[in-house]
């Protein structure tokens, strides 16, 4: 795919995420015409002060993958 200006911004910002968030590692991603998909791996979760208190003490550091599209579809299906 040849990225337009907006696609290039999405790519550039995606690539910079580990610089902004040291506990984040990037995995595969795909820029689509009007959105993007990507997997972010959280490293050393116990070091993240805002997240660690929300996790039970014996929680593995692999939290899992959140299906954002499914969440958005479910939200859109709710009556207003």
The DSSP secondary-structure symbol of 22 reads T
**Can you give the pLDDT at residue 19?**
92
CA dihedral 35, 37, 43, 46 (to 10 degrees): 70
Residue 23 parent element (H or E) = none
Q: State the total domains in the chain.
A: 1
**Can you give the pLDDT at residue 50?**
55
**Can you give the pLDDT at residue 59?**
52
Please identify which residue in the block is written with the tokens 């997240």.
51
Characterize the bridge pairing of strands 24-31 and 36-42: antiparallel
| Containing structural domain, residue 18 | 5-77
Q: Would you say the pTM of this structure is higher than 0.75? A: no
Long-range pairs for 11-18 at CB < 8 Å and ≥24 separation?
A: 14/38
Mean pLDDT of the chain: 75
- Mean local confidence (pLDDT), 32-57: 73
């Amino acid at each position: 795919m040849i990225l337009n200006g907006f696609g290039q911004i999405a790519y550039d910002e995606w690539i910079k995420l580990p610089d902004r968030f040291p506990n984040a590692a990037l995995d595969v991603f795909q820029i689509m015409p009007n959105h993007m998909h990507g997997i972010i791996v959280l490293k050393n979760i116990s070091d993240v002060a805002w997240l660690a208190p929300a996790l039970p003490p014996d929680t593995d550091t692999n939290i899992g993958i959140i299906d954002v599209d499914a969440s958005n579809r479910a939200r859109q299906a709710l009556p207003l």
